[in-house]
Amino acid sequence: MKRKRIFSIANQKGGVGKTTTAINLGAALAMRGKSVVIIDLDPQGNASTGLGIERGARAKTVYDVLLGSDSVETVARPTDVENLAIVPATMDLSSADAELMSTARRVVHLRNALRHRSTPFDYVLIDCPPSLNLLTINAFVASDAVIVPLQAEFFALEGLSQLLLTVREVRETANSDLRIEGIVLTMFDKRNNLCLQVQEDARANLGDLVFKTQIPRNVRLSEAPSYAMPVLNYDPTSRGAIAYRALASELLERNAITKDPAHV
């Protein structure tokens, strides 16, 4: 049986489209017949809200998974998207950093939850918080690879260097197979010369690591979370929905090919 694929969706900068990518990439994979779970690892819980899990209905959360009192499969909640589940988060997660810090194996809690138990999913997408804290390190240690949403804006590439360094450090110390799956340009406007320049610089510096698919700046993408659904359900014909379906296809195509784990 093929092992599930685990991806962290991470960037220490906020507002670059991490949660939007987690929700919509997850939905696009689910609509391709894959069984998908999103791990909401951000104390703000936006992925949970964006998939219709009310705060009052989050009795069990990723916090319980990290502390070992519950498993992923028992905490995962179904969503209105067939084949897509989510492990929700609440603000309780903001104290997990301090609690995990006091444990001997503080960086492997999520890996243990995902890999040492039978989780019935083809794909696991971890929506990381906007920082390189202990929660994000737990995600990296648990993952096969990292997907980095990168907003097409000034200084975007400069902020990427610390994340790449963190990935290398995790590979050297706790997860030798970790790699960068790819950089996905978000909030892209092809009419904007700065966006085009950022794209050119990213491809020149990072080559094939940059996904061919670009996620456009699209009002439907912004509206969909307020209706507690992915844009693929809210407006399947929108440019945002089309882009995330293309990104899912590209990810599936990349993972059909054996890749060198040393690739960054």
φ/ψ of residue 87, rounded to 5: -95, 110
Residues 6+ apart with CB under 8 A from 39: 62, 65, 72, 86, 87, 110, 124, 125, 126, 127, 139
Fold of 5-255: Rossmann fold (3.40.50)
Distances (CA, A) of 243 to 36, 227, 239: 19, 20, 6
Show the tokens assigned to 184.
Answer: 């996905």
Other residues' Cβ atoms within 10 Å of the Cβ of residue 247? 23
Domain residue limits, the chain: 5-255
Per-residue DSSP letter, 189: -
166, two tokens? 């963190």
Q: Using the structure block, give the residue that is written with the tokens 């609690």.
A: 99
Coil, helix or strand for 51?
A: coil
Q: How far apart are CA 60 and CA 178, in angstroms?
A: 29
Helix (H, G, I), strand (E, B) or coil at 239: helix
Q: Outline where 119-155 has alpha helix (H).
A: 134-142
pLDDT tens string for the chain (264 positions)? 457 899 999 999 888 999 999 999 999 999 999 999 999 999 999 999 999 998 888 889 999 999 888 999 999 999 999 999 999 999 888 887 777 776 657 899 899 988 766 668 999 999 999 999 999 999 999 999 999 999 888 777 777 889 999 999 999 999 999 999 999 999 998 888 888 988 888 899 899 999 999 999 999 999 999 999 999 999 999 999 999 999 999 999 998 854 444 445
Residues making up the chain, counted from first to last: 264
- With tokens 């104390």, the residue in question is 43
- Tell which residue, 3, 14, 13, 20, has the closest CA to residue 218: 20
